[in-house]
Structure 1
Amino acid sequence: MEEKVTKLVEWLREQVKTAQANGLIVGISGGIDSAVVAHLIKRAFPDNSLGVIMPCKSNPKDEEDALKVVESSGIDSITIDLTETHEKLFTQIKDKLKEQNKWNEQAVKMGDANTRARLRMTTLYAVANNFGYLVTGTDNAAEWHTGYFTKYGDGGVDLVPLVHFTKGEVRELAKTLGVPDEVIHKAPSAGLWEGQTDENEMGTTYDMIDKYLKGEEVPEYDRQIIENMHKRSEHKRRLAAAPPKF
């Protein structure tokens, strides 16, 4: 894993050089994936990397864990609380939907969660523009394959260094990099709502997705979930669709 870390760091430096950028930025959520990326970009650019913590109706424990990642990596960081911004924006959206009798409770709940992710990415790019940094994504192979990310949210980034690493491999990277144990063993969650976890929402586990991606046997139930998620999310892995030139 140390060899892979070295190659990732070299790759990150090459991407910044090619883009004629100044460094790298990442949103630090308090989860393992962003923790690994924070450590990687700090190694790649000790003096030109930044972590941004962006609470948005978040569990306070997530911010505590994010600060532990900042401490363990030594990365420069800022905190921008998006709770009030999100509340103002989404209250207006909900009010207009209710006025038009277009209210769909479940759909609005997901729209709320996706808006948080898109506000965070908007914030990252605003800060990145100030420094001339590239925005570094945190999606791993399991998330990328199943589409478990928000289009133009956490999926709207310049670089995806972990996209070929399974969740299990990300854990090994985290141990090699010195990510705090409590972050490594924390139940994966996007923090979308109280008690939400990735695996409960997906209906399968990262271990099952990892096995599937490695070509190993998985139960039929899990295989169908994984393949259905991949098919439904195909649009997320592509640029905006365009018609042929007439």
Structure 2
Amino acid sequence: MEPITSYPQFHAQEDKQKIITFLWNWFTNNGPQAKAVIGISGGKDSSVAAALCVEALGKDRVIGVLMPNGVQSDIDDALCLVKHLGINYRIVNIGAPFKEMLKALQYTEMQSSNNFFFTVTDALLQNLAPRLRMAALYAVAQGIPEGGRVINTCNRSEDYVGYSTKYGDSAGDVAPLAAYTVDEVLSIGEALNLPLQLVHKAPSDGLCGKTDEDNLGFTYAMLDKYIKTGICDNPDTKAKIDRLHRLNKHKLTPMPVVER
């Protein structure tokens, strides 16, 4: 996934159909009766991925899971999406498990001689919720009589700079958007006739109160251009993107094992 100068041609309608066909074939081979289980945030990626699954499998085989961490200010967007698509959904609030996990992590037996230093960092707080959400998605998938397959909603731009949580939102059984940059996901969303307020909603992880672009320090437009052409007009931004890509490659590669 290095930046390339011969990026594949993109046509929203054609690529939309390509993904739909891909999903149909994948489910045919990996769960002919299984349902697609997808976490719904109300943002572009989960909205587009869910709509593609509906096109591929039909709305009766798509399950939306809304997972607020206590109170979610934009949960109405997630509800708008599931109602627009007409899919079944369930709200699984991870607020209580989140608090209990933090409490368990910080609990120590003072008599123990094996205690070690531990602190709750900002990174821990931001990554714990996505991992709990992924646990919830797989629990839902296993509780469905027909079986479920968890849909990964990450796009190529996020994956390139590691803007995802390892074993959290970066996990899943199939990734329909992983080959597409943010601008392409937006175009596919428009081709699917999704509500524009969802497709063009400012992307945010919903956890730290900032947009993705605020956290990254550059825009997705700059990142998408760099991925497609290898060109970045700002040397500092190029260095930042290269650094993030280098540091986060472990999220994209299989777990290393000893060769025998």
Note whether the superposition's TM-score is higher than 0.5: yes
Alignment of 1:52-131 (within 5 A): 52-61=65-74, 63-96=75-108, 102-104=117-119, 108-131=121-144
Amino acid at match of 2:24: R
Q: Aligned pair 1:2/2:13, yes or no?
A: yes
> Is contact 1:13-1:44 (8 Å) kept?
yes
| Whole-angstrom CA distance in 2 between matches of 1:20 and 1:3 | 25
- The residue number in structure 1 matching 2:158 is 143
| Whole-angstrom CA distance in 2 between matches of 1:121 and 1:97 | 30
- The residue number in structure 1 matching 2:30 is 19
| Whole-angstrom CA distance in 1 between matches of 2:193 and 2:86 | 11
Q: 1:8 to 1:97 in 2, by over 3 A?
A: farther
Q: Aligned pair 1:176/2:191, yes or no?
A: yes
Q: Aligned pair 1:153/2:165, yes or no?
A: no
Q: 1:240 to 1:70 in 2, by over 3 A?
A: same
Q: Aligned pair 1:36/2:48, yes or no?
A: yes
Any unmatched runs of 5+ in structure 2?
1-11
| Whole-angstrom CA distance in 2 between matches of 1:161 and 1:97 | 46
Match of 2:254 among 235, 239, 245: 239
- The residue number in structure 1 matching 2:236 is 221
Match of 1:200 among 201, 214, 226: 214
How much is the aligned-residue C-alpha RMSD, in angstroms? 1.9
| Whole-angstrom CA distance in 1 between matches of 2:45 and 2:134 | 16
Q: Which moved more, 1:19-28 or 1:153-162?
A: 19-28
Which of the two has higher C-alpha Rg?
A: 2
Q: 1:20 to 1:203 in 2, by over 3 A?
A: same
Q: Which moved more, 1:2-11 or 1:139-148?
A: 2-11
> Is contact 1:188-1:198 (8 Å) kept?
yes
| Whole-angstrom CA distance in 1 between matches of 2:94 and 2:31 | 30
> Is contact 1:51-1:75 (8 Å) kept?
yes
TM-score by length of structure 1 reads: 0.91
Secondary structure in structure 2 of the residue aligned to 1:161: coil
> Is contact 1:42-1:74 (8 Å) kept?
no
- Deviation per CA, 1:167-189: give whole Å up to 9, x if none: 01111111111222222222111
Which is bigger in relative contact order (C-alpha 8 A, separation at least 6)? Answer: 2
- The residue number in structure 2 matching 1:163 is 178
Amino acid at match of 2:222: M
Secondary structure in structure 1 of the residue aligned to 2:65: strand
Measured after TM superposition, the shift of residue 2 of structure 1 is: 2.2
| Whole-angstrom CA distance in 1 between matches of 2:249 and 2:103 | 31
